Amino acid sequence: MSDPAFALEIEGVTKSFDRPVVKDLNLRVKGGEFYALLGPNGAGKTTILRMVAGLLQPEAGNISVFGIDTRKDPLRAKSVIAWVSDEPMVYDRLTPYEYLEFVAGLWNIDARRAQAHSTELIEWLGLAPHARERCGGFSKGMLQKVALAGALVHDPKLIILDEPLTGLDAGSARQVKQVLLDKVRQGVTVIMTTHILEVAERMAERIGVINHGKLVAEGTLTELRKKLGAESTLEEIFLDLVAHKEKDVETAVDAAA
């Protein structure tokens, strides 16, 4: 039985393509939590987020958001989720205001409310000087902010982001991080993948480490530090966990041979 107190519950989820990518994954994220999902390339992080967002279906297991089964009631589940990919998908010929108006229309948001919220988001993300310009000429950082604004226009309760800071300049990254922290303070749940371990160390309340499609460690930074010592950095913890998992895989392969 799903617990609505949890923003996300993943139970026994498995997904394969040409090989197993996610293997019998169990993961819970509390409401109002900032959760960082870390792992090397190919670990399964993006696949996990795509399944949560409803873009992929698991072969086995269940996913629920705030007690809503994403397979049985996908539209209701998507109504409380915002998905922001690492490659911003924005219509080049639209201005930020037009794009937000378009997205708000998809969610059937009242026009006055949509206009007010769009203006707030554009100001919040520092897009006001370019709000009437076509997105086709924007840098990746500006496109990422427009995409984030579009994801937030329907006031989601759960924001999932796949490497949202990759390729952003320092100023844009700072604005995006501040918006996410402000949302968490308002009670919104944020789940983010990142290769920038310093960001996870500073922003996340809890951290999960994924490798070969499995959750190999999870906890607060303090809890994770107990695995290596009180003074260990997140980078040292991460590399140690991944190295141990690689050795486990090699041992299993040798045993099978």
CA neighbours closer than 13 Å in the CB half-sphere of residue 16: 7
**Residues 101, 103: Cα–Cα separation, whole Å:** 6
- Express each pLDDT in 44-94 by its tens digit: 999 999 999 999 999 999 999 999 999 999 999 999 999 998 888 899 999
Which sign does the torsion angle of CA 54, 153, 68, 66 carry? positive
Q: State pLDDT tens for residues 204-236.
A: 999 999 999 999 999 998 888 887 666 678 888
